Structure 1
Amino acid sequence: MKFNEILKNLRYDIDLNQKELANKLNINPATYRNYENGNREPDFETLISISKFFNVSTDFLLGQSDIRNYESFSQKKLEEPEIPDDEKQLLNSYRKLSSELKAEIRGEIKGILRTSQEQSASLESESSINKKII
């Protein structure tokens, strides 16, 4: 999407007309109209002013990113991984263990994973042999 389209959509989101928004941004209404019509682009200072007003990144305004602002992106990244309760309990229990016991558990987990991978590889091998026989 182009700058002028993004700007227009942002203005629609806050339900202002061009003149009202131009006044809030301290921009001449005719100049603002030219931004939305795609006849003119703002200078850096104005671009930054617009991005601050709408709380969006300049990258978003210029159509270079779908991320409206980096704060919400960072917050979303922090909130994304929802850890199930049983895994939280496991982690809390693990944290209470001594270093030696933690090392032992890590070793056990590695062994279990290795065995699981070997079993998967064996099943895949059997499956491919059976397909060749059929």
Structure 2
Amino acid sequence: MSIFYSFWIFYEHNILIIEFFSYKIYNDDMNTLGDRLKSLRKERHLTQSELAEELHLTRHQISNYETNQVEPGLEAIINYCKFFNTRADFLLGLDEDYDNANLEQHTIQQIVRSANRLSSEKKNRYLNQVRLYAIFLERHKETL
């Protein structure tokens, strides 16, 4: 089970979405490498084909990894770790912690990349909305 909060920012005709993953909880039913790989892919709303393109693999390879028919090699595991910003010991089931520090860093990078694509005026409004949402989360952290 993954718990996350979505925050919508409206700018004229465009809608920007920022997903703030406050924390992750993984159940015991995610005990295989394939389960973890599939869960990470689905959290990013990627198809197997889209992920295959990003990792320079085939969709068939991704499917085989996720269904535990084939175990990925060391290079594929490293590429998964880099792409999903996670640790190999999590993927391999040695540690249940997803590594929230990396997740936070990834979220910050997404916010900065999104802001940098906007005009100066829109960028200031965008960052102000993000700041206000962060204040909201801080004030309501007990109920999250």
Task: Give distance in 2, aligned partners of 1:45 and 1:12.
Answer: 21
Match of 1:20 among 44, 50, 59: 50
Query: Which residue number in structure 2 is paired with residue 104 of structure 1?
Result: none
Match of 1:61 among 91, 105, 109: 91
For 1:92-131, what aligned pairs fall within 5 Å after superposition?
Answer: none
Name the larger-Rg structure: 1
Query: Structure 1 unaligned runs (5+)?
Result: 73-134
Identity of aligned residues (%): 36
Deviation readout 1:42-84 (Å, 9 max, x if unpaired): 1111101101100110000111101213845xxxxxxxxxxxx
Match of 2:64 among 22, 34, 39: 34
Tell me by how many angstroms 1:7 deviates: 0.5
The one-letter code matched in structure 1 to 2:84 is F
Number of aligned residues: 74
Query: Structure 2 unaligned runs (5+)?
Result: 1-30, 103-144
Provide runs of 4+ in structure 1 moved above 4 Å.
none
Higher normalized contact order (CA 8 Å, seq sep 6+, divided by chain length): 2
Query: Comparing both structures, which one devotes a greater share of its residues to helix?
Result: 1
Query: Comparing both structures, which one devotes a greater share of its residues to strand?
Result: 2
Task: Give distance in 2, aligned partners of 1:69 and 1:51.
Answer: 11
TM (normalized to structure 1)? 0.51
The CA RMSD over aligned residues, in Å, is: 2.0
TM (normalized to structure 2)? 0.48
The one-letter code matched in structure 1 to 2:97 is I
Task: Give distance in 2, aligned partners of 1:49 and 1:68.
Answer: 16
